[in-house]
């Protein structure tokens, strides 16, 4: 009964605290390893250089996992409240896109931005919405070998402030997600294509982060995907906080 639920809640908290503490503890040694490995790499040639590059790649992967775990534990921490402010979507997306310019160029992918108007605004935590967009765009680029990525947005039910939502859609022409994998896509460390994800440095935590950001904003998220044809992710967030 109630006793079991209390015990379960206690256990959940112990588990969350453990993950957070371990992640914090890992940060320092990993940063040190990274620093020394990068310094070593500058003075090495041949096979030794190859080995140190592999150490660097794996260290970076570990650092990404630690950062993502800390992000997740912060998103799950109910005492940390989102900081809501009025955000204009266009400059926010453009700032995020700057990060991805080299990746898009490398893969020769076209990026389309289709906003129904230049001044779509809504109330949200800017930093968290940025994190959400970074993870979504990163995935779209990672799993698309050719074609284009389209980011579109519009306001739904504009005439009724209580019901109005900003709808953000990110679609790609990538490898898509097999139907069996779709239900699991938001689970931690869940990766559709393990070997590929490892090669691309994925942590398997990106979609968990996205989902948490959407939940914090009382929004909803849906995925439509066809293997070989691409993926469309639709996010709806309330325009106004009440």
Tens-digit pLDDT profile for the chain (242 aa)? 777 778 877 887 788 888 888 888 998 999 999 999 999 988 888 998 999 999 998 999 899 899 999 888 888 888 888 899 999 999 999 999 999 999 999 999 999 999 999 899 999 999 999 999 999 999 999 989 999 999 999 999 988 888 999 999 999 999 898 888 888 989 888 877 776 666 666 788 899 999 999 999 999 999 999 888 999 999 999 999 87
Distance CA 138, CA 203 (A): 12
Secondary structure class of 104 (helix, strand, coil):
helix
Structure letter (DSSP) for residue 113: E
Determine the pLDDT at residue 12.
Answer: 79
Determine the pLDDT at residue 43.
Answer: 85
Q: ∠ CA 31-202-25 to the nearest 5 degrees?
A: 30
Distance CA 231, CA 132 (A): 16
Cβ–Cβ under 8 Å, residues 142 and 104:
no
Distance CA 30, CA 34 (A): 6
Enter the tokens of residue 147: 């074609």
Contacts 24+ apart (CB under 8 A), 97-104: 97/137, 99/134, 100/137, 100/138, 100/141, 103/141, 104/141, 104/149
> What separation in angstroms does the CA of 173 have from each of 4, 21, 110, 188, 198?
47, 39, 10, 25, 21
Secondary structure class of 83 (helix, strand, coil):
coil
Cβ–Cβ under 8 Å, residues 83 and 220:
no
Secondary structure class of 155 (helix, strand, coil):
strand
Closest CA to 239 of 40, 87, 23, 136: 87
Determine the pLDDT at residue 203.
Answer: 81
Q: Which residues pair with 58 in a beta bridge?
A: none
Structure letter (DSSP) for residue 147: S
Q: ∠ CA 77-123-93 to the nearest 5 degrees?
A: 95
Secondary structure class of 149 (helix, strand, coil):
strand
Predicted TM-score of the model (pTM): 0.84
58 alpha-carbon distance from chain centroid: 20
């Amino acid at each position: 009964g109630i006793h079991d639920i209390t015990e379960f809640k206690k256990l959940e908290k112990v588990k969350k605290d453990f993950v957070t503490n371990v992640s914090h503890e890992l940060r320092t040694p990993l940063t040190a390893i990274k620093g020394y490995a990068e310094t070593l790499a500058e003075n090495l040639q041949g096979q030794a250089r190859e080995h140190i590059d592999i150490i660097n790649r794996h260290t970076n992967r570990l650092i990404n996992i630690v950062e993502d775990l800390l992000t997740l534990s912060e998103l799950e921490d109910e005492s940390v409240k989102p900081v809501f402010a009025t955000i204009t979507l266009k400059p926010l997306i453009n700032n995020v896109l700057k990060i991805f310019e080299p990746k898009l160029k490398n893969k020769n992918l076209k990026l389309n931005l289709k906003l129904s108007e230049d001044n779509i605004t809504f109330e949200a935590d800017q930093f968290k919405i940025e994190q959400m967009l970074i993870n979504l765009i990163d995935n779209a680029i990672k799993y698309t070998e050719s074609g284009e990525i389209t980011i579109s947005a519009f306001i739904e039910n504009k005439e009724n402030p209580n019901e109005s939502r900003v709808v953000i859609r990110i679609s790609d022409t990538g490898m898509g997600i097999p139907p069996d994998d779709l239900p699991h896509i938001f689970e931690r460390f869940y990766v559709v294509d393990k070997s590929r994800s490892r090669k691309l440095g994925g942590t398997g935590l990106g979609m968990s982060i996205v989902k948490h950001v959407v939940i914090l904003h009382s929004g909803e998220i849906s995925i439509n995907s066809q293997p070989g044809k691409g993926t469309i992710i639709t996010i709806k967030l309330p325009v106004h906080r009440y």
